[in-house]
Chain A
């Protein structure tokens, strides 16, 4: 059973920088897992932010960036804004058609 670990919650001040991470219960995350990131506000459908580790989806502001930090995938928000307050999910592709979601991080901007 593959488990992805994300911080359950995080807080950032307006204008601040925050890095959310996505780890594997066993092993290291690499680009071979094609990490992607999704933003979801309550009651809304998810929105695609980042795919293939660090490619921003169309229309996503450049304050969002993706990377591999150590043995985890990472989503960094630089210059956080109030409307960045959302849930953020990472996804890894495990091969053989299988994708796995992390448990999500609830980001508060205050």
Chain B
């Protein structure tokens, strides 16, 4: 069964950095785009970033220039490097596998990793 499992969340001070990881299994990781989606406490879902199977990267305006998405195909792992963190970045961060590339949707989701930005 396809699985994606996030790790690396925690408490960080404003202006600090954190790196999230997402370990993928039971699918050909290198063949699929992957995304990060976040959810602030009590709020809706927000798309954050995507990396294509070829390595192209895309970002929401709210994180562009501060967050960097990357992937390590041999390790079947997705990353999100978060710098210059702000209180409004506090959220549960979900790793999501993209489905068939031409259909632009998320088909599998992790359980999420909580990032809290606070002094």
Could you show 27 A-B contacts with beta carbons less than 8 Å apart?
Answer: A34-B104, A34-B105, A36-B105, A36-B106, A38-B45, A40-B45, A45-B94, A45-B110, A45-B111, A45-B112, A46-B45, A46-B96, A47-B109, A48-B105, A51-B99, A51-B105, A52-B103, A55-B103, A87-B44, A91-B47, A91-B106, A96-B58, A98-B47, A99-B50, A101-B37, A101-B45, A101-B46
Q: Are A103 and B44 in contact (CB under 8 A)?
A: yes
B56 contacts the other chain (CB 8 A): yes
Please list the residues of chain A having a beta carbon within 8 angstroms of any beta carbon in chain B: 1, 34, 36, 38, 40, 45-48, 51-52, 55, 57, 87, 89, 91, 93, 96-104
> Helix, strand, loop or mixed for chain A's interface?
strand
B90 contacts the other chain (CB 8 A): no
B35 contacts the other chain (CB 8 A): yes
State in angstroms the CA–CA spacing of A101 and B58 once bound together. 15
> In the complex, what's the smallest C-beta–C-beta distance from B37 to chain A, in angstroms?
8
Q: Are A98 and B58 in contact (CB under 8 A)?
A: yes
Q: What are the residues of chain B within 8 A of A1 when measuring CB–CB?
A: 61
Q: What are the residues of chain B within 8 A of A98 when measuring CB–CB?
A: 47, 58, 60
Q: Are B44 and A104 in contact (CB under 8 A)?
A: yes
Please list the residues of chain B having a beta carbon within 8 angstroms of any beta carbon in chain A: 35, 37, 44-47, 50, 52, 56-58, 60-61, 94, 96, 99, 103-112
Nearest residue (CB) in B for A34 is: B104
> In the complex, what's the smallest C-beta–C-beta distance from A56 to chain B, in angstroms?
12
Q: What are the residues of chain A within 8 A of B112 when measuring CB–CB?
A: 45
A40, A46, A89, A97: residue with the most chain B Cβ atoms closer than 10 Å: A97
Instruction: Given contacts A48-B105, A91-B47, list 8 more A-B pairs with CB under 8 A.
Output: A45-B112, A48-B99, A91-B105, A97-B58, A99-B35, A101-B37, A101-B46, A104-B45
Q: What are the residues of chain A within 8 A of B52 when measuring CB–CB?
A: 97
Nearest residue (CB) in A for B33 is: A97
Q: What are the residues of chain A within 8 A of B105 when measuring CB–CB?
A: 34, 36, 48, 51-52, 91, 93
Q: Are B47 and A101 in contact (CB under 8 A)?
A: yes
